[in-house]
């Protein structure tokens, strides 16, 4: 299977024109890292602003409207405030693990962004195990949460971390199985090929009933995996203060906070790629203008992000026993039956294609 390195190849060729090949390769990697760090920072900051605006809209408030035009610079001001705050912690914390934990969370989110095909040419690494890589790399973040809660030497942080471990491991099963249902339809794990398959119709249409069921399960499980309401037992304010990051302040707290919003973007971006055609426009209406693909991708992703924010400001928080009952007694058995249904539909060639 051909593994193309779209942005990597373009930047390397550009740098090779005026520097040695080895230096060009290193320069390309540094340039790509800086591009993705910029995307990471800007997306994180403005997803926070979007959350606050959506919350205000649902609650008939104005939301941030003082710093900058229409409050657009509010999150910049918040970031500067967090940068300037003192990094405090508990005396008996395990210093090494306490300081290491935020980096597990932030690095796993950044690595996941690298494999997304924003357009046909805007993809850092197009590996042939793309879906598997995303599932695997998203599992690393929970290690940071567990380390942060345990190393803080705080009972509330530890309870929050343990809840996170149970919740994330449980709901990862449903996320993985719902994506596996769609892999049965595409026959590949490579994200660029999954998008190419959808030129005959988005997979949520091609797979019809089992694809719609898989999407619904994926969105519920994805929301739970990102520890967002109504599944935010990890940091239930009325019970655990701030949960696993109670003892973190300043930029260390900001890393955890930012990672939550980036993970929400990642869950939505996976759904966009696997269910809704990635960068492809509906019915190919802008196929002749390839650079519009990035706007289609971002637009679809933000619609799904809005849906996840809608969940947060609509449904009340579940109890921890209800949360685990939903996964193990309902979503997981339904997922297994849905995989069998999809396999039968693919075997009998009952898919819908245009």
**pLDDT (tens digit, 9 = 90+) per residue, 173-216?**
999 999 999 999 999 999 999 999 999 889 999 999 999 999 99
Question: Can you give the pLDDT at residue 210?
Answer: 96
CA–CA gap between residue 332 and residue 328 (Å, rounded): 6
Which residue shows structure tokens 């249409």? 205
CA–CA gap between residue 89 and residue 212 (Å, rounded): 46
User: What are the domain boundaries of the chain?
Assistant: 85-347
CA–CA gap between residue 261 and residue 113 (Å, rounded): 13
DSSP class of residue 190 equals -
Distances (CA, A) of 286 to 71, 229, 280, 292, 309: 33, 36, 8, 7, 29
- Residue of 198, 218, 180, 335 whose CA lies nearest to 273: 198
The pLDDT tens digits along the chain (354 residues) read: 333 446 667 777 777 777 787 787 888 888 888 888 888 888 988 999 999 999 999 999 999 999 989 899 998 999 899 889 888 877 888 889 999 999 999 999 988 988 999 988 888 888 899 999 999 998 888 889 899 999 998 888 888 888 888 888 899 999 999 999 999 999 999 999 999 999 988 999 999 999 999 999 999 999 998 888 888 877 665 666 677 888 888 888 889 888 889 999 999 999 999 999 999 998 888 877 877 889 999 999 999 999 999 999 999 888 888 989 999 999 999 999 999 999 999 999 999 887
Distances (CA, A) of 31 to 11, 122, 159, 332: 8, 14, 40, 42
Q: Where on the phi/psi map is residue 70: left (φ > 0), alpha (ψ -120 to 50), or beta? A: left
Could you give phi then psi for residue 222, rounded to 5 degrees? -65, -40
Greatest extent of the chain over all pairs of C-alpha atoms, in Å = 64
What does 3-54 look like in DSSP terms, one character per residue? Answer: ---HHHHHHHHHHHTTS-HHHHHHHHHHHHHHHHHHHHHHHHHHHHHHHHHH
Enter the tokens of residue 110.
Answer: 């950044």
How many residues would you count in the chain? 354
Q: Which pTM value belongs to this model?
A: 0.91
At 46-87, the pLDDT tens digits run: 999 999 999 999 999 999 999 989 899 998 999 899 889 888
Count of Cβ atoms closer than 10 Å to residue 18 Cβ: 8
On whether the CB atoms of residues 161 and 244 are closer than 8 A, the answer is: yes
Instruction: Report helix, strand or coil for 287.
Output: coil
CA angle 132, 125, 102 (to 5 degrees): 70
Could you give phi then psi for residue 66, rounded to 5 degrees? -110, -45
């Amino acid at each position: 299977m051909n593994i193309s390195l779209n942005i990597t190849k373009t930047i390397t060729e550009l740098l090779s024109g005026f520097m040695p090949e080895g230096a060009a390769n290193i320069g390309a990697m540094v340039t790509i890292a800086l591009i993705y760090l910029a995307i990471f920072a800007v997306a994180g900051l403005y997803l926070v602003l979007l959350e606050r605006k959506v919350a205000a809209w649902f609650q008939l408030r104005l939301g941030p409207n003082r710093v900058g035009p229409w409050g657009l610079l509010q999150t910049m001001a918040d970031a500067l405030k967090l940068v300037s705050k003192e990094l405090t912690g508990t005396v008996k914390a395990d210093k090494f693990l306490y300081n290491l934990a935020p980096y597990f969370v932030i690095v796993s989110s950044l690595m996941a962004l690298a494999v997304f095909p924003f357009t046909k040419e805007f993809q850092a690494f197009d590996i042939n195990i793309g879906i598997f890589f995303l599932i695997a790399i998203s599992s690393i973040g929970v290690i940071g949460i567990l380390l942060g809660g345990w190393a803080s030497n705080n009972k509330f942080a530890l309870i929050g971390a343990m809840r996170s471990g149970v919740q994330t491991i449980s709901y990862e099963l449903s996320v993985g199985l719902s994506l596996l249902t769609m892999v049965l339809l595409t026959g590949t794990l490579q994200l660029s090929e999954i998008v190419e398959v959808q030129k005959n119709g988005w997979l949520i249409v091609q797979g019809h009933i089992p694809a719609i069921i898989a999407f619904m399960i994926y969105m519920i499980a994805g929301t739970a995996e990102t520890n967002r309401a109504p599944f935010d037992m990890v940091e239930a304010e009325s019970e655990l203060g701030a949960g696993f990051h109670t003892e973190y302040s300043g930029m260390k707290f900001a890393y955890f906070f930012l990672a939550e919003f980036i993970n929400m973007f990642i869950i939505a971006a996976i759904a966009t790629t696997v269910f809704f055609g990635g960068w492809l426009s509906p019915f190919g209406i802008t196929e002749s203008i390839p650079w519009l693909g990035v706007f289609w991708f971002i637009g679809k992703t933000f619609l799904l992000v809005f849906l996840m924010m809608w969940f947060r400001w609509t449904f009340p928080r579940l109890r921890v026993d209800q949360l685990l009952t939903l996964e193990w007694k309902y979503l997981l058995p339904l997922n297994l039956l849905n995989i069998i249904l999809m396999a039968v539909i693919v075997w009998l060639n009952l898919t819908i294609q245009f």
